Amino acid sequence: IKNKKQKRSQTERGRGRSSSLPTKTLNPSPTKPPPPSSSGGGASHRQPTHQAKMPLGQRAGDKSDSRYCGVEVLDFPAGDGLPAVLTHSLSSAFDFLLAPLVDPDYRPTPGAVLPVAASDLVLSPSQWSSHIVGKISEWIDLDSEDEQLRLDSELTLKQEIAWATHLSLQACVIPPPKRSTCANYARVVNNILQGLTNMQLWLRIPLEKSESMDEDHDKVNNNNPTSETVDSWEWWNSFRLLCEHSSQLYVALDILSSLPSMNSLGRWFGEPVRAAILQTDAFLTNARGYPCLSKRHQTLLTGFFNHSVQVIISGRSNHNVSQVSEGVLSRDENHTEDTPTQHALSPYLDYMAYLYQRMDPLPEQERFEINYRDFLQSPLQPLMDNLEAQTYETFEKDTVKYTQYQRAIAKALVDKVSDDEVSTTRTVLMVVGAGRGPLVRASLQAAEETGRMLKVYAVEKNPNAVITLHSLIKLEGWESMVTIISSDMRCWDAPEKADILVSELLGSFGDNELSPECLDGAQRFLKPDGISIPSSYTSFIQPVTASKLHNDIKAHKDIAHFETAYVVKLHRVARLAPPQEVFSFAHPNFSPKATNQRYTKLQFELPQDTGSCLVHGFAGYFDAVLYKDVHLGIEPNTCTPNMFSWFPIFFPLRKPIYVPSESPIEVHFWRCCGATKVSVVSIAVDPLINESLSAVISGVVRVGSGGSVSIPDP
């Protein structure tokens, strides 16, 4: 359950990450408050005492709250029943309750006292906050044609939310819409959200099938050809649009026995899902009589574990399993006959623990990057800004990247100098943008590996990095092989032409750090048959659902942030279609007609069984050919393993685009070059209005992100 939310700083910059871990006050996953102190104050009859959290298991690197499982209370606990239910559940290794706050038979009447489940005195404030998620009455129907029911529903909803706020609950689950038209319900909830500060509302949505499964297709066609399919995502989308994408509105998905296709399920990973309410009816029975889940359910739950979604088990026990725990979550290893029987749903909890514990541990790289998940950073502009020592140090730790560079340089040296010329030919290599020297080191190691003689010019404009370069050269004894040039590459006059030009100017989108402009200016150093490393690079984009990123940008309440491209470790996103190529650049390019301006139009086709979706923006990647068959990149299909210098880039849309089922997504990308600025402009065409470029003029197109990079004077 999530702690208080605070606005994050957007001052971090990074090509892939900043030099230090960001302070993530707005976490990608809910976090539990610390254990309460004993000074809760008040009545001595408060029960139960606070108990330590019992995770589903230990998984290296995973500190998210998906490790903790809750249970839904189906029966209304009157009087002192709630403390007893909580004590029993906690002792059975459940971590929190989804519990009704008010008697479900209650209807508002003049002068009536709200019949709450329990006084606020029976639990301490920290126990209410840590272990109780409120469940709003399910009879509420704010879109009913019955006016009295509609009015009673609105009053009761407001009363129950007010009581939950008084209890300091961190979340309440509100019932699903009763019908597809939910305008009044959404209006009231949106009004409530405006007044909430520390509490979230989780809209309960049944995860219903959006299409017939293969095994059901013939049945539908033969028995009920006129039946309409239901896509519960549409309910959620309509509701959150009417609530103006509130950052305090989340989803609690009811997981039923039947599931949609994996493509349809994938949409939810980009939505703000906080809980998966797993019905006991969804479980199968294994050979030993214990509950288990289908492969599709297992895959879905594993995905939720990876996305910080907490599981809540709901329903009556359908498995007659001995109450003496054989599971992995028993708190008391010295079980005796006097020990209270475990919770009726403990076998289901044990199965959740089994699923969690069999997951692979997070890789070391993922553990290092976990604090960067969905954290927005402005891309580096090394041509304009001088990088700090911490930033250099972070990038220099990426040994995979420099190994690839060393391989490429070694191949280029062998191609330039034959074995017969090794003793007589010295290759001239220029490192433009040498930084603190990692490419210089990679070049000299490649020369040693291949037995070639090398003369290196290290060109660097950052005077502070130049100081480090001089120290490195002296320390390594490279004075006879390396010449340091403290100058901007664009205004340096080289004393001789280079055989090989090496640079490290690639951004997350390939060209977004002005690599084309820099290398076009530096290629005058190259001989006509010279080699550029990298020799080419291509950018890619794909449409994504990214509700969290959209809300983080929207929180700034201005257009400027929506016109910024961000570097971000994408996590809570749904990738809706495979990436496609955008721009390509090759070096050297001696053509007199060469230009770095680009335009491309792309059309993305979503898998047929995906259903409708909401596009919040486009994820961008690059793939670079360093030399011949040596490449590096972050494009998902060809990404270089264990390389962490670059995170993807995110191009947000000012207004998310609703894409109906089986409709294409059309996007136009321009790279516009001026004397002092290079801009990338994207326009995504709304498929509901117009699919032609002429729609841009009429304003019906959702103008996307435009990122610009200024070109400073040399």
Residue 633 · residue 3 · CB < 8 Å: no
Contacts of 334 (CB under 8 A, 6+ apart): none
Cis peptide upstream of residue 588 (ω within 30 degrees of 0): yes
Residues in the chain: 714
Q: Which of the 8 DSSP states describes residue 433?
A: S
Buried/exposed code over 361-381 (b: 16+ C-beta within 10 A; e: otherwise): ebeeebeebbbbbbbbbbbbb
Is residue 529 within 8 A of residue 614, CB to CB? The reply is no
Whether 168 and 197 have beta carbons less than 8 Å apart is answered as no
Instruction: Please give the single-letter amino acid code of residue 685.
Output: V
Helix axes 399-416, 438-450, angle to 10 degrees: 50
Sheet holding 453-460, edge to edge: 482-486, 453-460, 426-432, 498-503, 526-533
Residue 94 to residue 311: CA distance in whole angstroms: 10
Domains of the chain: 69-106+118-208+231-318+343-362 (3.20.20.150), 389-504 (3.40.50.150), 538-704 (2.70.160.11)
Q: How far is Cα 12 from Cα 327, in angstroms, rounded to an integer?
A: 45
Q: Exposed, middle or buried: residue 703 (CB in 10 Å: 0-12, 13-18, 19+)?
A: middle
In the block, tokens 């995906």 appear at: 610
**Residue 685, CA atoms < 13 Å, CB-side half-sphere:** 22
Could you tell me what percentage of the chain is helix, strand and coil, using 3-state DSSP and rounding each to the nearest 5? Answer: 30, 25, 45
Could you tell me where the beta strands, DSSP code E, fall in 160-309?
A: 171-174, 200-206, 249-255, 273-279, 284-285, 291-292
Q: Torsion angle of alpha carbons 515, 518, 524, 528, nearest 10°?
A: 0
498 phi and psi angles, rounded to 5 deg? -100, 145
C-alpha dihedral sign at 693, 602, 622, 564: positive
Tokens matching residue 485? 């040039």
The SS3 call for residue 223 is helix
Give dist(CA 551, CA 28) in Å, integer.
12
User: DSSP label at 111?
Assistant: T
Mapping DSSP onto H, E and C, the string for 620-639 reads: EEEEEEEECCEEEECCCCCC
- 341 DSSP 8-state letter: P
pLDDT of residue 267: 95
Q: Among all residues, which ones are annotated catalytic?
A: 504, 513
Return the bridge partners of 116, or none.
102
Starting at the edge strand found earlier in the chain, the sheet holding 677-685 runs 598-604, 665-673, 677-685, 702-710
Mark residue 244 as left, alpha or beta (left: phi above 0; alpha: psi -120 to 50; beta: remaining): left
Q: Contact, 172 vs 135, CB < 8 A? A: yes
C-alpha closest to that of 275 among 204, 352, 170: 204
The pLDDT of residue 662: 87
Q: Can you list the alpha helix ranges (DSSP code H) found in 426-541?
A: 438-450, 463-476, 515-522
Contact 682, 583 (CB under 8 A): no
Block means of pLDDT (10 residues each) for the chain, 714 residues, are 36 42 32 33 37 72 85 79 91 94 91 88 92 96 95 96 96 93 95 94 87 42 52 94 94 94 94 96 93 95 94 92 46 46 90 93 85 88 79 90 97 95 94 95 96 95 94 95 91 92 93 87 91 96 96 93 92 96 93 88 92 95 96 95 92 93 91 76 62 29 42 52
At residue 702, the 3 state secondary structure works out as strand
Which pLDDT score is estimated for 701?
A: 28
Tell me the longest C-alpha to C-alpha distance in the chain: 102
| Beta carbons within 8 Å of 58's beta carbon, 6+ residues apart | 357
What is the 3-class SS of 185-199, one letter each residue?
A: HHHHHHHHHHHCCCC
